[in-house]
Amino acid sequence: MGIVDEDIARVRAASDIVAVVTQHTQLRKVGQRWSGLCPFHNEKSPSFSVNAQEGLYYCFGCQASGDIITFVREIEHLDFVGAVEWLAGKAGIALTYTDDNEREQRKQQSKLFGAMERAVDWYHDRLVSGSDAGAARAYLRSRGFDRDMVEAYRLGWAPDSWDDMVRSLRLPVDVATETGLAFLNRRQRLQDFFRSVVLFPIFDDRGRPVAFGGRKLPDTEGPKYKNSREGPLYNKSRTLYGLNWAKADVVASGEAVVCEGYTDVIGCFRAGIPRAVATCGTSLTEDHIISLKRFTNRVVLAYDADDAGQAAAARVYAWEQRHGLEFAVASMPAGSDPDELSRDDPDALAAALRDARPFLAFRLGRVRDAATLSTPEGRAKATEAALRVIAEHPSPLVRDQYLMEVAGFARVDEAMLRHRLDEVVAAGASSPAPTRGRGRDRDRGARRGGDADEPPPWIGRSEVADVDAEMLGGSGGALAGAARRGTGRGGADIEPAELEALRLLIQHPAGFAEELRPVLFGDLVARRAFDALGATEGVPAAIERLETAGDETATRAAVLLRRVVVEDATAEPIDLRLRLVELAARRAIGGLEREARLDDNPLGWAPVIGWLNLQVDDLRGDNPPMEIVDELLAWLDEHVGEVE
Ligand code: ZN
């Protein structure tokens, strides 16, 4: 399927799971394994473990588990082939594909990327040296873009012509149209999609060009913004402008700054804040959030204060809960955006971002700023407005903290306020959240950017309707995620000594294995895991063997191995073996006693039961002779079929 097996093996061998995982979470060496905070679920204490030798990871919190390819798939949202390609890219390995379709598809995709690269260069050259680009250059200079910035962001100029670009690059029809660089006009001739606009190339987070954002020059005809249509390379509800440049600082600083426009992103970079991204003419979506969540837990909105105030609070809180994120709002001076501020007062931009407030605090601040607190009526009105804002937050503890703040500035008794808040919360729960100010938002959207028919930032297509279900832990939550991975909590009811034996087997595969027998595993799942380890080389191969077998015990054994592979064994092999033999002997005694009760002649069983009991007693003494252990194990190995 997709890539030839030898190449997949080469990619695995060349990839270091610890190095890849540490791009997303810090790992600490603990005994034989590495441990850290899980990058797949939100947690305060580390439950994520990696066994570097076997190349496997497991999370004790959310049961995420797998090898390096699974990790890359889950964290980068890629399919299997995509994950192998991602790793191959890092390791500099060229891949061979098995399947013709696949090969064609990848070939076509790299053709499209190639065409986009060439178009980026072509438009860029045109801006830098075209005799018709003087006005564009002057406009960019007036907006604070120097030559270095134009280079760094690969800005371009689409000339005022029908088909200069497609003709110069000789793009085939399918490539020209699938990239959105051109379209077939009524006479079935290719025509450039962009005309007379300054272009901001948009890259995916791997730095490959996927689209352009176009902006017309002031005082010229036509819509102010024109962006690439979606296609095979470009999905705007997933793409964040600037993420390719910003991600390193997002990880290093622990936060991502989300802006409304391309120039805002560049403004942040100019002001020495290289962790800004922007949505591309659309509202922030959950896919954007998932994309950011790979790099950080904190999102700072650097929006115009009015736009941030319009944010759909219910979605923000749902995302905070579901993805363990924290949303804050930068304290932008009224009517300013990061682009302007970076030119006029870069320090003020840095301060606005530094002083970002939690989303609810920001909203409450706006209520307070708008209120007339000098009259009793004004205070009462502000109180009601504040309670409506607070009531939207899903956490009673958080609500109560803010409630005390309101009690302070509105001079209302806390107990009374609490009672009133409960009423507002109850009323809110029974009716859908209002969708305020849609008409005004539409104007805003047209003003702020994006296609004219796009909703403005924040007011998403599905908006509030889907949030309640999501907040109640519906589809897509952590639980569903764990279920999707198909890994329940493995081995919860298995005898600890048997689990320890599996751990020890994985750590010292040589000497210990020969000392053990299947009969020492009373739990069928543990025994199956033991068998698989004995039949294969290495834990990943054992897991694969079990998963291929496909029956329920095998599947559970695979889950069990995924877990124990990242756990350290602490027992001494010799003690552990003794303990396993003792337990197996006790199980045998129990089995024999049941047989005896059903037999017409129960006394006939007495000698063997007596002998076993004697042996077990000997085992329990200090320094039991090894011969007894060996003898007992040999007996158990021979008779196990009879007693179980
Ligand atoms: Zn986890």
Question: Is the per-residue pLDDT at 100 higher than 90?
Answer: no
- Cα separation of 589 and 584, whole Å? 9
Phi, psi angles (nearest 5°) of residue 276: -100, 145
Question: Is the per-residue pLDDT at 215 higher than 60?
Answer: yes
pLDDT, residue 467, reads 31
- Cα separation of 108 and 232, whole Å? 10
Q: From the CA of 300, how far away is ligand 1's center (Å)? A: 24
Question: Is the per-residue pLDDT at 165 higher than 80?
Answer: yes
Q: From the CA of 106, how far away is ligand 1's center (Å)? A: 32
Q: From the CA of 482, how far away is ligand 1's center (Å)? A: 9
Q: What letter does residue 394 receive in the DSSP assignment?
A: S
Q: From the CA of 247, how far away is ligand 1's center (Å)? A: 22
Q: From the CA of 36, how far away is ligand 1's center (Å)? A: 10
Q: Average pLDDT for residues 119-141, to the nearest whole number?
A: 96
Q: From the CA of 34, how far away is ligand 1's center (Å)? A: 14
Q: At what angle do helices 606-620 and 573-598 cross, to 10 degrees?
A: 160
Tokens of 414: 């806390």
User: Residue 3 forms beta bridges with which residues?
Assistant: 97
Q: From the CA of 479, how far away is ligand 1's center (Å)? A: 11
Q: From the CA of 289, how far away is ligand 1's center (Å)? A: 18
Q: Which amino acid is at 533?
A: L
User: pLDDT tens across 606-618, in order?
Assistant: 888 888 888 888 8
Q: From the CA of 67, how far away is ligand 1's center (Å)? A: 14
User: Residue 328 forms beta bridges with which residues?
Assistant: 300, 358
- The residue ranges of DSSP E strands in 6-132, in sequence order, are 28-30, 33-36, 48-51, 56-59, 65-67
Q: From the CA of 475, how far away is ligand 1's center (Å)? A: 18
Q: From the CA of 85, how far away is ligand 1's center (Å)? A: 25
pLDDT, residue 161, reads 92
Q: From the CA of 58, how far away is ligand 1's center (Å)? A: 8
User: pLDDT tens across 507-542, in order?
Assistant: 876 678 888 889 999 999 999 999 999 888 889 999
What residues contact 102, with CB distance under 8 A and at least 6 apart?
A: 1, 2, 81
Confidence band for 177, pLDDT divided at 50, 70 and 90: very high
Question: Is the per-residue pLDDT at 92 higher than 70?
Answer: yes
Q: At what angle do helices 376-391 and 414-430 cross, to 10 degrees?
A: 50
Q: From the CA of 324, how far away is ligand 1's center (Å)? A: 12
**Contact of 383 with 406, CB cutoff 8 Å:** yes
- The residue ranges of DSSP E strands in 147-245, in sequence order, are 156-158, 182-184, 190-192, 197-203, 209-215, 225-227, 240-241
Q: How far is CA 436 from CA 128, 311, 408, 442, 451, in A?
A: 45, 10, 28, 12, 22
- Cα separation of 278 and 154, whole Å? 17
Tokens of 547: 């998963």
Question: Is the per-residue pLDDT at 386 higher than 90?
Answer: yes
Q: Which residues surround ligand 1, an ion (CB under 5 A)?
A: 38, 40-41, 59, 61-62, 64
pLDDT, residue 346, reads 93
Q: From the CA of 37, how far away is ligand 1's center (Å)? A: 8
- Cα separation of 118 and 112, whole Å? 10
pTM of the model: 0.59
Q: From the CA of 574, how far away is ligand 1's center (Å)? A: 34
Q: Average pLDDT for residues 81-86, to the nearest whole number?
A: 90
The secondary structure of 279-302 as a DSSP string is ESSS---HHHHHHHHTT-SEEEE-
User: pLDDT tens across 235-270, in order?
Assistant: 988 999 999 999 888 888 889 999 989 999 999 999
Q: What mean pLDDT, rounded, does the chain reach? A: 84
Q: From the CA of 55, how far away is ligand 1's center (Å)? A: 17
User: pLDDT tens across 556-598, in order?
Assistant: 999 999 999 998 888 888 889 999 999 999 999 988 888 888 8
**Contact of 277 with 292, CB cutoff 8 Å:** yes
Q: Is residue 210 classed as helix, strand or coil in its secondary structure?
A: strand
Q: Average pLDDT for residues 453-477, to the nearest whole number?
A: 33
- Cα separation of 36 and 38, whole Å? 6
